[in-house]
Amino acid sequence: MATWSLQVVLQGLHDEIHQRLETARKTFGHPGTKGDVSESIWLELFQKYLPERYRAEKAHVVDSNGKFSDQIDVVVFDRQYSPFIFNYQGEYIIPAESVYAVFEAKQAINAQYVKYAQEKVESVRQLHRTSLPIPHAGGVYPAKAPIKILGGILTFESDWNPGMGMPMKEALQDGSSILDIGCVAAHGYFNYLPDKAGYEFVLGGKPATAFLFKLISQLQFAGTVPMIDVLEYSKWLTT
């Protein structure tokens, strides 16, 4: 009788992502098409494997002051408690309060794309976020402080040699907005360590699967997004 192997199952998840990203890189000649396919591969990974309280889409993020972020390749947001999400013909606009994480997706990582991802992440982090007191059976909880929005970059390859070494660390640390976590599927993943004010690189193994588990762990520790003040958005109906 056939037996199950958790090791084989988890390796299979990484191998699938790795192969699809590699195929996109080798097959599509047009950079825009290649990029679109890579984005869709990462989006499908999140949509399939993140817990259902989260959702992932390519989107713009907006705040109650009417300010919009840049377009973000992958936005991980709350779908359980956030009542206001605009979707027209596959174009999503998501309120800033509901965002857990944002990612830029590229074929390869380099200093230029790290800076670009930092700017994209910052365009979301700088948005205003409301938070209301939360009523419960025994009274009212104080308004919750907005959670930290995780930011990162997702790629298949690296333009550096070695793929994840000092040049990458220097690029990640050279910027005004921290990238908390990212994956280079052919080499490994990284995450920011606040207590050490530096980066940890986890090399080899099955990076796509390891990165996914690390992201889920960080989302768990982030808790739940604050209670959105919907009426702050409704004021735009009368102006």
Q: Which residues are catalytic?
A: 73, 104, 106
Could you give the C-alpha distances from 29 to 16, 23, 158, 201, 229, in angstroms and in order? Answer: 21, 11, 18, 31, 46
Among the listed residues 153, 154, 130, the one whose alpha carbon sits nearest the alpha carbon of residue 143:
130
> Using CA of residue 36, residue 37, residue 39, residue 44, what is the dihedral sign?
positive
Among the listed residues 104, 105, 146, the one whose alpha carbon sits nearest the alpha carbon of residue 127:
146
Burial class (CB in 10 A: 0-12, 13-18, 19+), 173: middle
- Which residues make beta-bridge pairs with 95? 62
Q: How many Cα atoms are found within 13 Å in the side-chain-facing hemisphere of 90?
A: 1
Among the listed residues 219, 117, 222, the one whose alpha carbon sits nearest the alpha carbon of residue 177:
117
Give the single-character DSSP code of 126: T
- The number of angstroms, rounded, from the C-alpha of 145 to the middle of its chain's C-alpha atoms is 20
